[in-house]
Every structure is written in C-alpha cells, then in structure tokens.
C-alpha cells in the first residue's frame, strides 16, 4: 500500500461516516416531528376527555345514577363522536358506583392518542359534590 491509496481509502471512509451521520440526524429530526405531533394529539385528547367529563357531569340525573347503582358494573352513559370530527375524535364516558360515591371515567381518542379523566363525586341534595379529578 502506498500513501496515495491510503488517502483515498481514508477519504471514502470519511464520506461514509458523514453519510451515516446525516442519515442518523435526519432520522432523529423525523422522530422529533412525530413526537411533537403526538404531543399535540395528546393535548387534544386530554382536553376532549375533560370536556366529555364536564358534559357528562352536567347531564347526570337521578335516573341515570339509579340505573348505574343497580347495574353493579361500569355503564357507558355517553358517547361523543362529533359530526364534523368523527371518527378522528371520540369520547366515551363510563360511570360506576363505588360504595358510597360514583366514579366517572371519560376516555377519549384523537388520532392515535388517548386521554382519560376520572372524576369522583357524590350526589347531594344540592347537586353533585365533586371530589378529585385524576388525569
């Protein structure tokens, strides 16, 4: 092997290294893009679940509470596919009776991301006594 041959091999190795680096960097950038889009969908899903939970809480009446209590298992009380956004956006709200209180669970899906909210509450004569929200 002479000096000129060595320089050529070294140059090719360097080019190969640069190509690999470029591919890796482009791959990372693409993954970051997907992650940011995923965050956005996650945010939409979470706020849609909260929206669904609020709507369900506002729609609850004594009849539904009685039915859920007698069912003895979680019952789907509301489903929210909005006309213009369906099927990209959906939210199901379940209600379960847990001894002395109720647990409302809203599960939403936006694109491929899910959001969920659990709300604990107790019915009182003045309305609902909302406990903690778990997100």
Residues of this chain that bind another protein (CB under 8 A): 11, 14-15, 18, 22, 25-26, 29, 32-33, 36-37, 39-40, 43-44, 47-48, 50-52, 54-55, 57-59, 126-127
Cα(54)–Cα(29) distance, integer angstroms: 38
Q: How far is the CB of 95 from another protein (least distance, A)?
A: 17
- C-alpha closest to that of 69 among 47, 102, 109, 108: 102
Q: How far is the CB of 109 from another protein (least distance, A)?
A: 13
* Whole-number CA gyration radius for the chain: 27
Is residue 79 a contact partner of residue 89, using CB atoms and an 8 Å limit?
no
Q: Which one, 35 or 76, has the nearer CB to another protein?
A: 35
- Cα angle at 54 between 48 and 60, to 5 degrees? 130
Q: Which one, 70 or 124, has the nearer CB to another protein?
A: 124
Q: How far is the CB of 17 from another protein (least distance, A)?
A: 11
């Amino acid at each position: 092997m002479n000096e000129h041959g060595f320089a050529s091999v070294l140059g090719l190795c360097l080019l190969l290294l640069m190509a690999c680096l470029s591919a890796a960097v482009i791959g990372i950038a693409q993954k970051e893009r997907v992650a940011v889009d995923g965050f956005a969908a996650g945010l939409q899903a979470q706020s849609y679940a909260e929206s669904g939970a609020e709507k369900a809480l506002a729609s609850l009446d004594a009849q539904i509470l009685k039915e859920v209590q007698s069912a003895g298992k979680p019952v789907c009380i509301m489903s929210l596919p909005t006309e213009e956004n369906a099927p990209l956006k959906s939210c199901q709200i379940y209600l379960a009776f847990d001894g002395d209180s109720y647990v409302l669970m809203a599960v939403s899906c936006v694109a491929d991301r899910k959001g969920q909210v659990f709300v604990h509450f107790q019915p009182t004569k003045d309305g609902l006594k909302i406990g903690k929200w778990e997100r």
